[in-house]
Amino acid sequence: MKAVMLSILPFILLSSQAFAQEPVTKTASGADVAVEWFFPAWLGTAPYAPVFEVRDTENKYGRYARQTKTITIKDLIKFHGHFCGGLVESAASLRVAFELLFPDKVIDRTNLRIVSNNSACGGDVAAYLTGARARFNTHVIDNSLTESEFNVQQVSTRKTVHVKLNPAVYPQEVKAQMKKIESGTFESKDIDLFQELQWAYAKRMVSSPLAESFISKELKDYKWPEGSCKDLGKRTMIIKMCRRRNCVLFFKHDT
């Protein structure tokens, strides 16, 4: 008996180690957070990494979809092109804003418009998470805002939320390294250092409640600004809303 136990002990140890080290590949809702070369393991398991449940329509003229989609930082990285501090910062900023606009946690992307800075990171995150589009003037560019600062409006109610990063949160070393690179006088190792600093900043942010890093408030009687693009036409959808047995069919404009 002792000989048998000794012979199977290595297999037991190997199995238990494999089980303990099994990587997280899905969120509770089934969204993909598996590790890839552009997506570190810690970002998939960070306690406050923003996750978004969104509702869209079934088709161009469709009803509201009964099911929602889950959007993670990994999805945003694929859209934006790379993982950076600005991407995480902007996603976290909008997660805080959506908490005020959608208490039920489900974000209606047919019912949003947004004002953002023209930064690549903030602008991409704004467009992807809200469904707003500059060509329909539902995504307006205002360069008086900072990179992760947004005015987000729920179109049906006109409720508008302003959110921005608490300036005390942004690391001075990241800012200094960014200025060095943008000055044109730098070495290749400076780019590597900048990435390390940004990733460390992002990791700290998603390790604490996001509301601690941002300042948010409702804007009363907010006047929607003029669009950034010339008038290219309005987007029109037909949405069928059903409550109990009563259905209402209507055209919905984004403006």
Q: Where are the domains of the chain?
A: 25-166+214-253
Quickly list DSSP for 178-209.
HHHHHTT---HHHHHHHHHHHHHHHHHHTTS-
**Ramachandran assignment for 13, one of left (phi > 0), alpha (psi -120 to 50 degrees), beta (any other):** alpha
What average pLDDT values come out for the chain (255 residues) when binned by 10 residues?
Answer: 50 42 67 93 95 93 89 97 96 98 95 96 97 93 96 96 97 96 96 96 97 98 87 60 42 45
**Ramachandran assignment for 233, one of left (phi > 0), alpha (psi -120 to 50 degrees), beta (any other):** left
Contacts 24+ apart (CB under 8 A), 18-25: none
pLDDT value, residue 251: 43
Quickly list DSSP for 12-62.
HHHHHHHHHTPPP-B-TT--B---BTTB-HHHHH-TT---EEEE-BSSTTP
pLDDT value, residue 250: 42
Residue 10 token pair: 């290595």
Chosen CATH of 25-166+214-253 out of 3.30.1330, 1.10.1660, 3.40.50, 3.30.2000? 3.30.1330
pLDDT value, residue 196: 96
pLDDT value, residue 217: 98
pLDDT value, residue 31: 85
